[in-house]
A = this chain, B = another copy of it.
Amino acid sequence: MPDHEREMEIVHLLRAATVELGLHSARFASRNGMHPTDVRALIALMDASRSGSDAEMTAGRLGALLGLNSAGTTAVVDRLERLGHVRRVRDERDRRRVLVEIDERAVELGWAFFGPLIGRAVELLEGYDERELAAIRGFLTGVRDAAAGANR
A-side residues, CB < 8 A to B, are: 4, 6-11, 13-18, 20-24, 26-27, 43, 67, 116-118, 120-122, 124-126, 128, 131-133, 135-144, 146-148, 150-151
Shortest distance between the CB of A139 and any CB in chain B (Å): 5
Instruction: Please give, as numbers and ranges, the residues of chain B lying within 8 Å of A116 by CB-CB distance.
Output: 150
* Given A9-B137, A132-B135, A137-B9, also A124-B150 (CB < 8 A): no
Counting every copy of the chain, the complex holds 2
Chain A, interface SS category: helix
Determine whether the beta carbon of A135 is less than 8 Å from that of B136.
yes
Nearest residue, chain B, Cβ from A44 = B19
Q: Say yes or no: A140 contacts B23, CB within 8 Å.
A: no
Say whether A24 contacts B135, CB under 8 Å: no
Contact indicator B11/A147 (Cβ below 8 Å): no
Cβ of A41 to closest chain B Cβ, rounded Å = 13
Inter-subunit contact B141/A13 (CB<8 Å): yes
Q: Which of B6, B27, B67, B117 contacts A146 (CB 8 A)?
A: B117
